[in-house]
Amino acid sequence: MDKALREVLEQLRRAYPRGVAEDDYMALLAVLGEDMSEENVAIVVAELIDRETAVVANDVAAAQSVRVPGPAARARVRSVLESTGWHPDPDLPVS
C-alpha cells in the first residue's frame, strides 16, 4: 500500500476506532468513492475491516450503482470523517 493510501487508512482508523458499523459501511464506500477510485477504496477499506479486497470491491461498485446509500447516511458518514480531520486529498490518484 502506498503512502497516500496508508494515510487514508490511518484517518479511517481514527474515525472508526471500534470498527465500521454495519449502518455506515455502504455509505462509507460511497463517500470515499466520490474522491477515490473503486480499487483504492477497496484496498483501504478491506484493510480497515479485515475483509478480502475482492469482496469490498464488489460492495464499492454496489454502493455506486444498485445499493446507493441515501443522502442522510452519506452526510452522517461524512460528518464522522470530518470530525477527525478528514478531507479529500486532491493529489490522491483516482484511477
The domain limits of the chain are: 3-83
**pLDDT beyond 50 at 95:** no
User: Up-side HSE of residue 19: CA atoms within 13 Å toward CB?
Assistant: 7
Could you please state the CATH topology (level 3) that the domain comprising 3-83 is classified under: DNA polymerase; domain 1 (1.10.150)
CA 22/CA 3 separation, integer angstroms: 27
Sequence-separated (6 or more) residues with CB below 8 Å from residue 53: 42, 43, 46
pTM above 0.75, yes or no: yes
The predicted pLDDT at position 91 comes to 54
pLDDT single digits (tens) 16-70: 999 999 999 999 999 999 989 999 999 999 999 999 999 999 999 999 999 999 9
CA 31/CA 27 separation, integer angstroms: 6
CA 47/CA 69 separation, integer angstroms: 22
